Amino acid sequence: MDPKKLRYSPTHEWVDVEGGTAVVGLSKFAVDQLTDLLTIELPKVGDRLTAGKSFGEVESVKSVNDLYAPVSGEVVEVNQALADDVQILSEDPYAKGWLVKIKVDDPADAEKLMDHTAYETKIASDDH
Amino acid sequence: MYKLDQPPLLFEASRPGRSTAILPPCDVPVVPLDSLIPAEHLQKSAVPLPELSELDVVRHYTNLSSLNMSIDGNFYPLGSCTMKYNPKRNERLAALPGLGAQHPYQDDSTLQGMLAILHELQNDLAEIAGLDAVSLQPAAGAQGELTALFVAAAYFRDQEPDRKRTQVLIPDSAHGTNPASAHLAGFETVTVKSDSRGLVDIEDFKSKLSDDVAVFMITNPNTVGLFDPQIGEIAGLLHERGALLYLDGANMNAILGVVRPGDMGVDLMHYNPHKTFSGPHGGGGPGAGPIAVRAKLAPYLPSPMVGRREDGTYFLDEDRPLSIGRVRAFFGNTGVLFRAYCYIRSQGPDGLKRVAQHAVLNANYLLSLVRDVYPVPCGPRCMHEFVASCRTLAKDRGIRAMDVGKRLIDYNFHAPTVYFPLIVSEALMIEPTETESRDTLEAFAAALRAIAAEDADSLHDAPFTTPVSRLDEVKAAKTPVLRWTP
């Protein structure tokens, strides 16, 4: 996936909506901040995700961080490979390291999130 | 560079037949073991315990202890942990037979001295907090948080039986124990952002304050070492909505005798006697986490409390029908509580105030010595601790907070807290405490400055003087080896 074409939440999740389905992942910036990853907890197929609420967590040698849903919807697929080897997320956050696929309630929700330029500006100003 | 040898394990030093005790001949009748214990429960082969002399064992543990850093051996600026000196007189007094050799099942009438001390400590902690009642039971700060939230929940169940407050607000700079305690107490946690100064973002706080909020858990001074002057406004807004203000008392060392949490509008709080009142840290405990509350919350505190009868005798008051019950066996961890009592009585009110003043002075002096090399994003002034950042060093030269912390070991200093709080990138959280001299602070600053000028590549492998150098933390967390095998 091309990071420039994705939408981003303020909590560093990216989303790629195509039709009624969205792929959700974590930005490279967030992954780099976490440093060495240890484990990840993801929801189950069929779970409801609510925009802005936690749907899982990722643990690194530094900290345990919540994963927040960028848009609302129902989980249709979970990246099982990631649950087995979280290293995939460090190596390839925009492709093999995707987290979940969801059937979104309203595809227009993603439009409210930041585009790549806005996200880049945000992380540059946050990182003081 | 001199490097210590890796000491052998007791199992590796074991020699067949070597022992510590020579037992006398058996003077009771010998009976077969399986006549006493059914054969299926007996061990089939000998347990492979190490065989060593007493001297082997003494040397093993003495040498191991010398590999450990401790406040008695090293400057220990571990931010948020308040690693101050533990005065030896506290150890001597807490070990007096009237305190150290008592049994909790003794009758109250034989424990009057001990109960008098605990009763006085309850009053002292209430006075320092500016609050009305204290429970000494919780066994650690985090258990104090959890207990206080149970007390708050019991209060709301009683006062507002027809509705339920479901949320606890917590700033994003909080200790990780706050959301953990709130979750364990059955609340939903809602994060409140920090503003660019490192204080509570008051607009974000207002937007999240609703009638569902039970408690706001604040740490003041907070984890970036700043006193939040908005605390009065925050308390007012919470109280208008009927919610409570909780203070994480981890940083009480900065305000002892200067300002009382109760006067800031705090309704309930915990203390960490092992931080603020010089109880020893180490080995994960035993700690203590007394909580102080306003009068309206007092009926819900854990039972028993130490009470005083009109005739001046002391007793354990179990007759408290609204209490949430026990959270800890017997009287709590009295050993730490006695040390806190000795410290408070040794310092007195003026001494406690000087503790806070010197803790703040030391932190500010150290900050001034390092900030040109390690920027302090929420500076230039601080309370008892400050959070420096390796962000520039990491970006320009690849030297990260972890590298600096590890390399400090070679300079004979314990590392500061690293990568916390999360709102500062590449954080080094430094708390010198009031018990360090100007010489020590200057030596530590010199080490920090020297490390920043070292070769980045070699820093990634530090420390160099320890028996094992850089450990693989990912491997240790993912595939821990918890048991020695030959």
Which of B174-178, B219-223, B481-485 comes out lowest in average pLDDT? B481-485
Mean pLDDT of all residues in B413-435: 94
Radius of gyration of chain A from its Cα atoms, rounded to whole angstroms: 13
Look at residue B48 and tell me whether its pLDDT is greater than 90: no
At residue A92, the pLDDT reads 95
| Chain A CB contacts of B419 below 8 Å | 62-63
Q: Decide if pLDDT at B323 tops 80.
A: yes
Please tell me the predicted confidence (pLDDT) of residue B23. Answer: 87
pLDDT of residue B3: 63
Minimal-distance CA residue of chain A relative to B477 = A38
What is the percentage of chain B residues whose pLDDT exceeds 70? 98
State the amino acid at position B102 in one-letter form. Q
Q: Which of residues 120-159 of B touch A (CB under 8 A)?
A: none
> Average pLDDT of B218-231?
96
Tokens of B475: 């491997």
Distance CA B229, CA A43 (A): 41
Q: What percent of chain B has pLDDT over 90?
A: 84
Task: Give the list of residues 6+ apart from residue B67 with CB closer than 8 angstroms, or none.
Answer: B4, B7, B466, B467
- What is chain A's mean pLDDT, rounded? 92
Condensed to tens digits (0 to 9), the pLDDT of residues B84-99 reads 999 999 999 999 999 9
Determine the Cα–Cα distance for residues B36 and B159; give it in Å rounded to an integer. Answer: 59
Instruction: Compute the average pLDDT of residues B151-169.
Output: 96
At residue B486, does pLDDT exceed 80? no
Residue A65's pLDDT is: 87
Tell me: pLDDT of B6 over 80.
no
Q: What is the pLDDT of residue B172?
A: 92
DSSP state of B139: S
Tell me what the mean pLDDT of segment B57-81 comes to: 92
Interchain contact, A127 vs B473, CB within 8 Å: no
Instruction: Give the other-Cβ count within 10 Å of B185's Cβ.
Output: 19
| Those residues with Cβ within 8 angstroms of residue B299's Cβ, 6 or more apart along the chain or in another chain | B320, B322, B323
Count of beta carbons in the 10 Å neighbourhood of residue A18: 8
Q: With contact defined as beta carbons under 8 Å apart, do B428 and B401 qualify?
A: yes
pLDDT given at position B321: 97
| Contact at CB, B422 and A63, closer than 8 angstroms | yes
**Maximal CA-CA distance, chain A:** 39
Residue A128 has pLDDT above 80, yes or no: no
Contact status of B31 with chain A (Cβ, < 8 Å): no
Strand partners, B316: B306
Structural tokens at position B421: 């709080």
Q: What integer pLDDT is reported at residue B2 of this predicted model?
A: 60
Helix B334-370 and helix B438-452, axial crossing angle in degrees, nearest 10: 60
Least confident span in B61-65, B215-219, B323-327, B410-414: B61-65
Alpha helices in A1-128 (DSSP H): 28-34, 80-84, 87-91, 116-126
Residues of chain B found within 8 Å of residue A63, distances taken between Cβ atoms = 176, 419-420, 422
Furthest-apart CA pair in chain B: how many Å? 81
Chain A residues closer than 8 Å to B391 by CB: 127
Confidence category of residue B284, pLDDT binned at 50, 70, 90? low
Mean pLDDT across the stretch A35-52?
A: 93
Bigger pLDDT: B6 or B35? B35
Q: Domains, chain B, ranges and CATH? A: 10-67 (no CATH), 89-346 (3.40.640.10), 349-476 (3.90.1150.10)
Average pLDDT over residues B353-361: 98
pLDDT at residue B21 in the model: 84
Residue B158 has pLDDT above 90, yes or no: yes
ipTM metric: 0.71
CB contact under 8 A, A63 and B391: no
pLDDT for residue B4: 64
Q: What is the CA radius of gyration of chain B?
A: 26
Question: Average pLDDT for residues B120-134, to the nearest whole number?
Answer: 98
Looking at residue B1, its pLDDT comes to 52
Q: What is the pLDDT of residue B468?
A: 86
What is the per-residue pLDDT for A19?
87
User: Contacts for A117-122 with beta carbons within 8 Å, 24 or more apart?
Assistant: A118/A8, A119/A8, A119/A27, A122/A10
Ramachandran class of A117: left when φ > 0, alpha when ψ lies in -120 to 50, beta otherwise: alpha
Amino acid at B36: L
Statement: residue B460 has pLDDT above 90: yes
CA angle B453, B400, B75 (to 5 degrees): 75
Does B473 reach chain A within 8 Å, measured CB to CB?
yes
CB contact under 8 A, A33 and B425: yes
- Closest partner residue to B419 (CB to CB) among A62, A127, A128 is A62
The pLDDT tens digits for B374-400 are 999 998 999 999 999 999 999 999 999
Q: Which domain holds residue A31?
A: 3-126
Q: Kindly report the length of chain A.
A: 128
Residues of A in contact with B478 (CB under 8 A): 38-39
Residues of chain A in Cβ contact (below 8 Å) with chain B: 33, 36-39, 61-64, 127-128
* pLDDT at residue B7 in the model: 78
Contacts of B166 in chain A (CB under 8 A): none
pLDDT of the residue at B384: 97
pLDDT the model gives residue B283: 55
How confident is the model over B470-479, as a mean pLDDT? 87
Q: How many domains does chain A have?
A: 1
CATH number for the domain harbouring residue A57: 2.40.50.100
Other Cβ atoms closer than 10 A to B471 = 11
**Residue B115, token pair as written in the block:** 């109960």
> pLDDT digits over A56-102, tens only?
999 998 888 889 999 999 999 999 999 889 999 999 999 999 999 99
pLDDT of B67: 86
| Measured distance CA(B388)–CA(B451) in Å, rounded | 14
Mean of all residue pLDDT scores within chain B = 94
SS3 B269: strand
Q: Which helix (H) or strand (E) holds B227?
A: none
pLDDT at B313: 97
Report residue A80 as tokens: 């099982």
- Average pLDDT score over residue span B8-19: 91
B282 pLDDT higher than 70? no
